[in-house]
Structure 1
């Protein structure tokens, strides 16, 4: 069985209290534990210890990021978590620098990750409807996928040598939510990948 680190990246706003993300975290914990996996949960908007978070990442076989999509990316509190924890991990806990060396200073940027046996999964909640993606006629995303939009986050995890698992998405959660179906799809997604 796997060690799964769940990162709840939600940041509270009066219009977005985080109930859906919290419920998805709870569901992931229950589903994973029922399958025999060990789970640790970190709420990145709360107080955390950097050394403990580095140890959590080294412990994990899978890092599971549960995040709302705020302005096409992670909430600022998760960006702060990344700046604090991931920068501290540059000395060998998560990677050995940026992967380059003196004999090839222009090659292998980002190839210094130490978490090469670790996978990661993105689980995202969007206000955007599913139909806004993968359609070149749609205004904003111009045919791009969710994973195209989240390419920078994929690269952050790849920087540490992690391998991606299939992304899960709840769409249109503020204006046209289908929570019951989302939870069914979420359970099936967890079952498929764990």
Structure 2
């Protein structure tokens, strides 16, 4: 290898990054747990720093209630958005919430690992999102506008999911709908809303019974996605302030490619 080739490879090799992996599965011997362990080991072997939030092992409290907000008076009506913003900005959030927010701020990328249950994430993961992404932390009038310019901009985000159904059932003509549509609330409504750049999801289908050879293949495929965590092109969702939307937050006529409809309207042209 000559000096020019070595310099070129170093230039394209991403520097050490900080990655938060959030796992949501109740069984430590599950496929999701195995993929979490694999991701952590693979990323650390590549020189990255990794922190893990194993929600079931943490016995994460999944419900938002008045106990989250020490600044809330018991005799007053709980207005969740206002209470969360007040306690976020004053540093009075429940300690478990504050700890997870610190992990998100620490990270350069966030990976959510979970099984697709009833076309969504497990309740414990939804509760992690509900409680951690508070007003004043992830969104709010005092923060940058959502959908592209949010406060968490600069971070990458990856959904790694398992599904019991075959992949064809989550295709464009599949009975379950496209996986990109099923995961849109997380890809667009959580990641992109807060400014994080979501990558195409990684999925292991037909996951209820996974023989050793298919698991090995899944690990190889996942390794490639993890290697591209900071180099792969993210989903090109449209920015709210990029000129594609009007003041009513509706996509302007004629911006999309003719024939585009549904959720694809909010994806811009790929490079």
Partner residue, 2:138: 94
| Structure 1 residue 169 corresponds to structure 2 residue 169 | no
Distance in 2 between the 1:39 and 1:78 partners? 19
| Structure 1 residue 190 corresponds to structure 2 residue 226 | yes
| Structure 1 residue 131 corresponds to structure 2 residue 185 | no
Distance in 1 between the 2:227 and 2:50 partners? 15
Structure 1 runs not aligned, ≥5 long: 101-107
Distance in 1 between the 2:157 and 2:196 partners? 7
Give the TM-score normalised by structure 2.
0.59
Match of 2:154 among 112, 117, 125: 117
Distance in 2 between the 1:131 and 1:59 partners? 37
Contact 1:64 1:122 in 2 (8 A): yes
Partner residue, 2:102: 55
Q: Which has the higher contact order (CA 8 A, sep 6+)?
A: 1
SS state at 1:41 partner: strand
- 1:117 Cα deviation (Å)? 0.8
- 1:94 Cα deviation (Å)? 2.5
Contact 1:33 1:39 in 2 (8 A): yes
Q: How many correspondences in the alignment?
A: 176
Contact 1:50 1:84 in 2 (8 A): yes
Partner residue, 2:239: none
SS state at 1:27 partner: helix
Query: Which is strand-richer, 1 or 2?
Result: 1
Give the TM-score normalised by structure 1.
0.81
Partner residue, 1:2: 17
What's the CA shift string for 1:118-159, capped at 9, x where partnerless?
1100100000101112242x3332xx2x11110001111112
Distance in 1 between the 2:195 and 2:207 partners? 32
- 1:175 Cα deviation (Å)? 4.3
Match of 1:19 among 30, 51, 65: 30
Match of 1:67 among 114, 118, 125: 114
Distance in 2 between the 1:97 and 1:80 partners? 23
Contact 1:61 1:117 in 2 (8 A): yes
What's the CA shift string for 1:70-116, capped at 9, x where partnerless?
111100011111111112xx21x32334969xxxxxxx665672111
Distance in 1 between the 2:226 and 2:147 partners? 29
In structure 2, do the counterparts of structure 1 residues 134 and 71 end up closer, same or farther at CA, with 3 Å as the change threshold? Answer: same
Contact 1:98 1:109 in 2 (8 A): no
Match of 1:147 among 180, 189, 205: 180
Partner residue, 2:264: none
- 1:169 Cα deviation (Å)? 0.5
Structure 2 runs not aligned, ≥5 long: 1-15, 61-95, 231-271
